[in-house]
Chains A and B, each alone.
Chain A
Amino acid sequence: MAEVEETLKRIQTHKGVIGTIVVNAEGIPIRTTLDNSTTVQYAGLLHQLTMKARSTVRDLDPQNDLTFLRIRPKKHEIMVAPDKEYLLIVIQNPSE
């Protein structure tokens, strides 16, 4: 339990990281460092996107699976690490 906390805290304290969100399979945010409305938005939208990305990868090659998803908008980068049950979302401002 404590290790989980430690891991998440370590991720949060990396340079440029703005926020961390852990979402479960139903899109419910379990753990978050951002405010509620933003979290709900990110959780809902990224969950759907990850599902779609995963199904795309599997359609192209059934042996393949999605391991990581990176979205680079202009302002900061959104990284999604998917799993069968949970989703770890990190928003980082990449260094120039």
Chain B
Amino acid sequence: MEIVHVYTKKRNEFGRQCNFSDRPAELHVDILPDPSLASNFIERDPCDIPIQCTQEMSEHEVNTERFESDTRGINHVEGGWPKDVNPQEMEQTIRFRKKVEKDEHYFSTIMQLGSNMEHCIKQNNAINIYQEYFEEEEVVEESEEQPSAKTINVFRDPNEIKRTATCLSWHPDGSCKLAVAYSSLGFQNISPDMSYDSYIWDIENPNKPEMTLKPVSLLVCLEYNPKDSHILVGGSYNGQIAYWDTRKGSQPVEMSTIEHSHRDPVYKVIWLQSKTGTDTFSASTDGQVLWWDIRKMSEPTERLVLDPNKKGNLDNALGAISLEFETTMPTKFMVGTEQGLVVSCNRKAKTPAEKIVCTYSGHHGPIYALQRNPFFPKNFLTVADWTARIWSEDIKESSIMWTKYHMAYLSDGCWSPVRPSVFFTVKMDGTLDVWDFLFKQNDPTLSLKVCDEALYSLRVQDNGRFLACGSQLGTATLLEISPGLCTLQRNEKALATAMFERETKREKILEARHREMRLKERSRSEQSKDEDTKEGDGEESVEELATRTEAEFYEIVEAELKKRAKEQEKKWVFINLFINSAKKETSLFQDPVFQR
């Protein structure tokens, strides 16, 4: 429906100016409020809305495009020859040379220069002008500097999907290269797009890895051969072992056959000391330790099942997570297990039962790192659950020294190769701890937060100065430690020896006492057993045990609650006191005498 208003106007009135007239205001409509209508509406809660009248600004981040530079060399060819002489032609060059030599000017110049030169040569032969005086007096100051560590370089995983850097290995000569193994240890965490590559980095160039290693499955661990720096051996997630030759390219030279490999990811692989330099052994959570000769990867040369009952039963076997091998003791080696036991084994034993010599228990969780002290091979370090412990080979019941329980899991650790009392640990909250137990026993000497994500691996370079740690997102960080932490202090060896001996003795005494007490208990319980009637021993004790533990548990909880309540009370009392004293003070302040 169209609303139309029609009006007429005379033609001679078009374009005429408008005549305005003034008239007073007229009220057309007056609508009064009707309270009855208000009941149809609900009043809204008054709300405060802040309004600010300021300049509007926006934040914008800009980053320049990444500039990749590459260094190349240029080969210079001989030049400078005059146009008519072809430098390739021997004859022409010889002829040119002879021509020059016949020049008069040449003659005089050479005579003059020659005499100058002779003078200097004779000078050189007479005395060494750059001789260093006072060379023997090396100023040895007690470095008062704070121990510190500095990040030098960060190597990031170039792939889109980040994998954890699970193992690092330094190049054996000169340590200018670092091999990093990347894998994903989460259960079934591997996505189909995840790249399987592991890289070798040149520590001077963090932008691009120097070499890529392409295994068949993710590599969990990787080691350089200490005898031949071109060979690396890696253990992969699917249980196979492969070895690479860096001269031959990125593909593995040979891989072990699947039937004879491990059934679980290979967590650690170490090179052995042998004449050929081609022996390695590997450990995995399927409970086996296998020995390989890399020239013949189709089958392991030897096999050991970590059965604590020494029966070689694979079902009972303990899963191995770390291995330890010291080249000075080639027949012994140690295995750290998932169950928290360290198993010490003898390689040269005749029967498999004798292979497992003894076990050390004391940890609550899998032992992620296991290493002997390079200066004191009888003592070794284990890193597991929330503590790091130092053990002596002779004491099997407990460790001789241990750190306190930390807030985060410890994931890896190693000794410093230059100082017997220094070791490093990394935690799941991304911190690196440097411990010097001759300096401070309760806390780390230096605690450094390397990154926000968890750190999984750690490796110190052979000179003790640099260390690399790998994180969950595949970042390997290279740190340099202050010289105080990597130079041998004056009587460090003697002090460390004394400390180890002291702690070992203490543990021995404790062990002896425990044994005595146990013997006494056993003899006592045997006597009481004879007196009691034999009932369903097994179930009874389990039920009793259950009720007893329940009662104990509740006792502990109640005690804790009471303690908390007491503390809370104390706190309130303290706060009240504080408020009262504050009141008193303010009242003093208002005293006119006090005012200045």
Q: What is the interface of chain A, defined by CB distance below 8 A to chain B?
A: 1, 3-4, 7-8, 10-11, 14-17, 22, 24, 26-28, 30-31, 40, 44, 67-68, 70, 72, 77, 79, 81, 83, 85-86, 88, 90, 92, 94-96
Contacts and interface: CB of A to CB of B under 8 A. Distances in A.
B559 interface: no
B5 interface: no
B128 interface: yes
A96 B128 contact: yes
Interface stretch (B104-112, B214-222, B484-492, B584-592): B104-112
B116 A68 contact: yes
A70 B124 CA distance: 11
Nearest to A37: B78
Contacts of A72: 130
B76 A44 contact: yes
Contacts of A85: 105-106, 109
Contact of B110 (A7, A15, A26, A90): A7
Given A1-B107, A7-B110, A7-B111, A77 B124 contact: yes
Nearest to A16: B125
12 contacts: A4-B101, A4-B106, A15-B125, A22-B110, A44-B76, A67-B116, A81-B113, A83-B112, A90-B117, A90-B121, A92-B121, A95-B128
Given A88-B114, A95-B128, 16 more contacts: A1-B102, A3-B111, A8-B114, A10-B118, A14-B121, A14-B125, A27-B79, A28-B81, A31-B97, A44-B80, A79-B117, A83-B109, A85-B109, A88-B117, A90-B117, A95-B124
B314 interface: no
A26 B82 contact: yes
B100 interface: yes
Interface in B58-99: 76, 78-82, 96-97
Nearest to B110: A4
B114 A24 contact: no
Contacts of A70: 120
What are the nearest 8 A-B pairs in CB distance? A7-B114, A81-B113, A27-B80, A88-B113, A26-B80, A94-B124, A14-B121, A83-B109
Contacts of A86: 106, 109-110, 113
Interface residues of B, number: 31
Nearest to A94: B124
A83 B113 contact: yes
A16 B124 contact: yes
B440 interface: no
B350 interface: no
Contacts of B596: none
Interface in B110-152: 110-114, 116-118, 120-122, 124-125, 128, 130-131
A14 B101 contact: no
B133 to A, nearest CB: 14
A86 B113 CA distance: 9
A15 B121 CA distance: 8
Interface centre among B109, B122, B131 (most CB of A within 10 A): B109
A30 B121 contact: no
A31 B101 contact: yes
Contacts of A26: 80-82
Nearest to B97: A30
From B80, B117, B128, residue with most partner A Cβ within 10 Å: B117
Contacts of B122: 14
Given A11-B118, A31-B97, A79-B120, A94 B76 contact: no
Contacts of B81: 26, 28
Given A14-B122, A79-B117, A88 B110 contact: yes
A92 B124 contact: yes
A4 B118 contact: no
Contacts of B117: 11, 79, 81, 88, 90
Contacts of A30: 97, 100-101, 106
Contacts of B116: 67-68, 81
Contacts of B125: 14-16, 94-95
Interface centre among B96, B114, B122 (most CB of A within 10 A): B114
B78 to A, nearest CB: 5
A3 to B, nearest CB: 7
B118 A14 contact: yes
Interface in B542-583: none
